[in-house]
Amino acid sequence: GSSSSQRTPFMILCDNNASETQGDCYGFCLVYSGSFLSEVEQDQADQVRVTMGIQPESFRWELNSGDEFCTPEVMMSFSREGLGQLSRNYHNIIHHNLTRGKYHLSRRPILINNWEATYFNFTEEQIYKIAEDASKLGIEMLVLDDGWFGKRDDARSGLGDWFVNTKKLPSGINKFCQKINDLGMKFGLWFEPEMISEDSDLFRAHPDWVLRTAGRQGMLGRCQFVIDMSRKDVVDYLYDSISSVLKSANIEYVKWDANRQIANAWTALLPAERQGEVMHRYVLGLYDLLERLTSSFPNILFESCSGGGNRFDAGMLYYAPQTWASDNSDAFARLFIQYGTSFMFPVSTMGAHVSACPNHQTGRISPLETRGVVAMSGTFGYELDTNLMTDEEKEIVKEQVKTYKKYYDLINYGDYYRLSDPYKTDRYVAWMFLSEDKSKALVNYVQVRAYANAPAIYIKLQGLKEDSIYIVNGKEYSGKSLMKCGIFMSSENGDMIAKQIEVVEK
């Protein structure tokens, strides 16, 4: 029912010897957020055919005389200069032709999300203290995650009841939001509109609003059902209830989550012979709700999420200009996740946060400086409790915030270059951002593993002007030298050591 994190609706056909800088590469990106199929066929004459579209398994659609059916679009691009240029083609398409709204090309706030700090167990005072501390570090927005609504103390109840839990927030959303605004911070909320808990007022009132086979109990996943987004009355309810919350306070951000896939795709409103329409009607209902909400609240920044990156696709980016790339926020894992995501999607679309250490998903320990460098290659933020940080760590965060603000335009809208492949070496990962006029670059480097007496590492840059002189660490180099010979990276003691290097044209 969603575009998946295993098989994203994007693929590249390229020469066998294609690299970042050479080779013919064809890209195909389906603008759709539901079940899909991508196929490549090669016949006996070596002719190649590519098809992409809605997954045909169990799909049926009844068309009567005069009816129309609109299929999803595919964005195609070609590069004869390798995989890197193909990626930059798509980054430009998404920046200038797909995303829209207030935050299309404007600076987005650095946020802190309370999820990994508190999970469901929080009080108003506890969240306020996190915001108060974060505001002193230069962080610009507090996002209140799961647990602020209905009877929601764990994953087993409350979804669908989109009204404030006054036991946790006795001040209510409006007054609490005002408290956050008084700190000089913006305020955002988490929603999971497409899901419904069995233990909820909504389910007790409308058990028929769940996707489940007629006459059967239905399948719970993560203690929740999928609500029937193919129904107009469901979409209308969600619009009214979410709008009521968004109108009640100065809410400037919405994290739109969806933490399970569709099963039992059966609606009570269609006869048996038309149940093959449900999965696609679900996507159309989702798009309708998002269109109504983003039109009614044009000043709100929407971020999509689906258990992390299970629905990171071009269809969702039309409504929400950024997507939470993965629930795995470990810096080491993110080197691979963000590397793979960059082939299609620009940095400005990738939700990336500095999380607590040891990491909650892997238990891995990484330096705070490195977690910051990795998270800066995305929509930068934090996912931890600032009250538990030492004074030294807070000073590091202040510097990270300043650095991200300084390089914001370069990171988010500069040309992106992958300078290494993390799947081919376990020693390091390197990438860079280059301004449009090629006068400034930011090189990011992570020494993943340290080895004794290891060979020297030289990172070869890309995209610079060959005949121009650039200043790197106070020394002058020609663009040609930086691209052909590279920058020497000294070996450090320890794993996951990060560096950022500014390159400026003289």
**How wide is the angle at C-alpha 93 spanned by C-alphas 462 and 23, nearest 5°?**
45
3-state secondary structure at position 86: helix
Pairing of strands 301-304, 322-324: parallel
Residue 157, both tokens: 């109840």
203-to-73, 210, 278, 327 alpha-carbon distances in Å: 35, 8, 20, 27
- CA dist 92 and 82 (Å) reads 16
Give the list of residues 6+ apart from residue 20 with CB closer than 8 angstroms, or none: 82, 83, 84, 417, 418, 462
3-state secondary structure at position 238: helix
- CA dist 323 and 321 (Å) reads 7
Cis peptide preceding 321, ω within 30 of 0? no
What's the alpha-carbon Rg for the chain, to the nearest Å? 24
- CA dist 332 and 356 (Å) reads 13
Q: For 101-111, b where at least 16 C-beta lie within 10 A, e where not — what string? A: bebeeeebbbb
129-to-123, 135, 152, 355, 385 alpha-carbon distances in Å: 10, 10, 21, 18, 9
Burial class (CB in 10 A: 0-12, 13-18, 19+), 50: middle
- CA dist 219 and 152 (Å) reads 21
215-to-209, 218, 219, 266, 277 alpha-carbon distances in Å: 14, 9, 12, 11, 19
CB 412 within 8 A of CB 453: no
Under DSSP, the state recorded for 164 is B
Tell me the residue length of the chain. 506
Pairing of strands 73-79, 48-54: unpaired
Query: In the annotation, is 313 catalytic?
Result: no
Query: In the annotation, is 327 catalytic?
Result: yes
The active-site residue out of 145, 257, 313, 330 is 257
**Residue with token string 């997954």:** 55
CB 142 within 8 A of CB 134: yes
Stretch (H or E) spanning 314: helix 314-317
The active-site residue out of 327, 330, 385, 415 is 327
CB 254 within 8 A of CB 191: yes
Q: Which of left, alpha, beta for 324 (phi over 0: left; psi -120 to 50: alpha)?
A: beta
Which residues does the annotation mark as catalytic? 257, 327
